[in-house]
Structure formats: structure tokens, C-alpha cells
Structure 1
């Protein structure tokens, strides 16, 4: 007899800020960092690395990309910011902007496995939120990288969101349930006969 299953599945999908469940937000406010700060850098349990071992922290773009006064940025023309999350989440996202025309990529990983990536070709500071719900997979790392370096171009991030939506695996019905249903059916037939 085939086992009966109650199943719900979560599909991987692009999400917005309002779609996060149990959200934690790193908004980079009040960190008191220098304009140029060495990496790796730990903020709210997440580790930030860059290609130059240094990250920018300043207030003149944070308000534009994330609605707050501060944000983080790259130091080099072809830089990247890698965020190793302090936990495993099936939801992650961030505000992203760039101060000059070009292409950048935001990628979500589970360990070294790429789950999804987005490319941004917005000219200037875009202030776009990129969020990913990985379904049953877990996001452990986010990478923001410059794909078309131009002189003096800076990638900017703000408001890192992490969360865990309700993901449920198939739940088998109790093994005795089919037998119980068969017994109830038999009782109903016997009651009709009498």
C-alpha cells in the first residue's frame, strides 16, 4: 500500500522586504567606523570581506540606497564585497546601489554552491532591494561584485536582511491511519447490515 503524505513545499523565489519572515536587519547605523576600515569586519555576527581588505563606511550614499544615513562600499574600481552570514537562512537580501554606470552582480550561495544571482545595470545609485527566498536550501553567503570596472566606481550596500520562512518537508501520516480508516469503513458496513 502506498504511503499517504501531507506535503507542502516552498519554491525558491525573488522576494521583497515585506516577504521576510523572522527578519533581522543590519542597517550599519552608528558603527562609528573610519571612512576606510580593514576587513574582515564583523557586523551583527556577519563577516564582511573585500578584494582590497578594506571597506568604505560613509554617510553620503547610505540614505540614497537604503533610507538610512550609512552604508558600506568597495574601495577599488573592480571590487567585491563578500558577506559570510553568521547563520544559515533561507531568506537573504540587501539594498544595492552604484555610483556610476556599469554592471554588478549580487549572488546568493549555500557554501560554495550558487543558488541564484541578479545583475544590476542601473546607471548611478539605484537603491534597489534584491531579495532571495531559497526555498528548502539555506543561504550562507552573499557576494556583490563589479562586472564592468570603471575608474572610481563604487558598489554600495545597505540594510542586509536575513530570515527564515516556514519550510516544511513532507510529513508522513501515522502508519496506523489507513488501518483505522479501513476499520471505520468496516464498522459502517456492519452497521448498515444490522
Structure 2
């Protein structure tokens, strides 16, 4: 361990691979130091979710836009990509499944799953975005977008989350809807999550 007096001026950029879409997601974590003290470093993750409900003719019936919470387990999952450790969240699986549920319980950092995910079966399963996009336009962003087709996830919807498995697995982020979304059997629902990465 180095004492504060031993820190030397340093300018380094660490290339990190954060796997979200099934391919390596490169982003830079900058660490700058001066002779007065150790390096200052940080990485901030901010989430946003957009939900659009379409009727059978393709007309928008409902539209929602929310900021969302990156849960503690999700933060640990990201950390394990940077430095694998012996914690409870260290799976290498990418976070590219979007799930839906029926609880409007407020999002909390301690949550590790949706409060009431729809039961898996013939009419519901998490949907995977295996080609999720990474873009630097307007910031460093990971964009996941999936569509629940007619006769899928029908009913009252109140929450959504990002996971790294088709069932179970680890949750990266969760959002409860401010009010119910009613998806009819003939409706189509598109859910888009945007995770923005920026230095703090």
C-alpha cells in the first residue's frame, strides 16, 4: 500500500470491457493524480426507460418515459467485469434480457428481482436483445430495446427490469411505472432501456 506522500503525477486511461450486449463494450475510466494526493476516479451509471404501447393498427396507445434505478446488485455486477471477485454477483453473462411485472412497489437499491414478475409460460418470457447497441453519440450509452408481441405479456403491467439470464439471474436495474399500463392481447409493447456511463 502506498502512502499519500509516495503518489507521483499520473495520467492513465484504463480500457475496460463491460459486457452488456453479448459483445465487449469498451469505455475509458480516467484516473488523474497530482503531487498533492492520490488519484481521483469514478464512474457514474444513469438509466432511462421508454415504454411504448401500440394497438393492432400500429397507433400509439400509451407512452411512458422514466429515469430508473441501477440496483446495488447491478453495480456489483458491473464491478465484477472490471475486477472479478468472490462476491455473490460475478457471472460473466451479459445483461441483455428485459422483464416485466405487476408490482408498483417503489424501486430500491436492495432489490435483486422484480417484485412480481409475470409468470413464465406460453404467454410470457423475458425478451433478449442480443444485438444491444453501444453508442458515443450524446454520451457513452448502452441501448437495449425489445418488443413484446400480441398475446405476449398481456394484462396490467407496472414494472420492468434488466437481467442477465432468461430466468433468475442477476438484475442490473428496475423501474416501477407511475401508473398501470394495460396491454391488450392485440397490442404490441416496446421497452427500451438506455444506460449512460460517465465519469464522476
Give the structure-2-normalised TM-score. 0.30
Q: Flag the structure with larger Rg.
A: 1
Q: TM-score normalized by structure 1?
A: 0.30
Greater RCO, 1 or 2 (C-alpha within 8 Å, sep 6+): 1
Greater helix proportion: 1
